[in-house]
Structure 1
Amino acid sequence: MALLCLLATPALAQQRPRAPQAPAKEAPKEPAPPADVPAPYDRDLMRMSEVIGSLAFLRALCAAPDAAEWPARMKALIEAEGVTPARRDRLAGAYNRGYRGYALTYRVCTPAAHEAAARFVAEGERLSHALAGRFGG
């Protein structure tokens, strides 16, 4: 082992020093994507997305006149609040949770489905007023 160290030392000593290289030019930086920092109202916004997903399923199941509005509302919400891919994914995930939760429970429109939809409409109204009141401009 000591012999290997002694043999390696002269070889290292015989290496020529490299000439200093000019610093490489940095490529122009593209603007960084917006940081995926949660907004103070994200919890309410995710719940709103889940409520909209639940209503999208229940209102369509019960052939309500406003059934087509709920997916459109979610699309508008994602366009307004989905500033990063991760945020869009979280919003869409919450919507899908709400939708699937009721798709697993209901196959036909029942009085309970109507009641659930009415409760979600009321919750959505409370959430939207709270969000607008606390964080709206």
Structure 2
Amino acid sequence: MIFAALRRRGPRALLLLALALAAGAVAPGLPSPAAAQSTQGGAPPYEGDLLRLSEILGALHYLRPLCGAGEATRWRDEMQGLVDIEAPSGDRRGQLIGAFNNGYDSYKQVYRSCTPSAELASQRYLETGAKLSRDIAARYGSN
């Protein structure tokens, strides 16, 4: 499972998430969450991107199984692993989980069965999530 590797490698959380999203894409790792946070203890500079990625994971958690992918809990597990690695504070944790739930709920309200539009949305989210993960890692990572 991807998050067993995440626990061993800690600072490379988004690298491995990018691998999961892109099924093999390689990107540099991120610094540890604590190192990336500001001196006032705020969110890391990639927080907005991380919230977007959380929303994408929520959408994938709904759409992929709806369209027959054998990934019943994969995207929720990916989100749980991301939360575990980031170890966010209460408010920040709530925002990340809220973004995931928003991604899930927004598609649950629209799609009851897999349609060509749902398949297209799923494919685009896989691509966007992989690109976003790579971009975060490239921008804030260290080699």
TM-score by length of 1: 0.71
Which string of whole-angstrom CA distances, capped at 9 and with x for unpartnered residues, describes residues 27-80 of structure 1?
xxxxxxxx6512110000000000000000001211202342101100001111
**Structure 2 spans left out of the alignment, 5+ residues:** 1-39
Which residue of 84, 91, 98 corresponds with 1:86?
A: 91
- In structure 2, what residue type is equivalent to 1:126? K
1:99 aligned onto 2:72: no
Q: Tell me how large the CA RMSD over aligned residues is.
A: 1.6
Residue of structure 2 in register with 1:51 after alignment: 56
The normalised TM-score by structure 2 is 0.68
Give aligned pairs, total. 104
Query: Which residue type is aligned with residue 49 of structure 2?
Result: D
User: With CA pairs under 8 Å and 6+ residues apart, which has the higher RCO, 1 or 2?
Assistant: 2
In structure 1, C-alpha distance between the alignment counterparts of 2:126 and 2:102, rounded to whole Å: 17
Matched, 1:72 2:72: no
* 1:73-114 Cα shifts (integer Å, max 9, x gaps): 000011111321111101000000000000000001111110
Taking the aligned partners of 1:125 and 1:48, their CA distance within structure 2 comes to: 9
The one-letter code of the counterpart of 1:128 is: S
Identify the residue that residue 110 of structure 1 maps to in structure 2: 115
1:80 corresponds to which letter in structure 2? I
Larger radius of gyration: 1
Give the whole-Å Cα distance in 1 for the aligned partners of 2:69 and 2:41: 37
Comparing 61-70 with 47-56, which one deviates more in the overlay? Answer: 61-70
CA contact under 8 A between 1:36 and 1:87: conserved in structure 2?
no
Q: What SS does the aligned partner of 1:134 have?
A: helix
In the alignment, the residues of structure 1 paired with residue 134 and residue 121 of structure 2 have an alpha-carbon distance, to the nearest angstrom, of 20
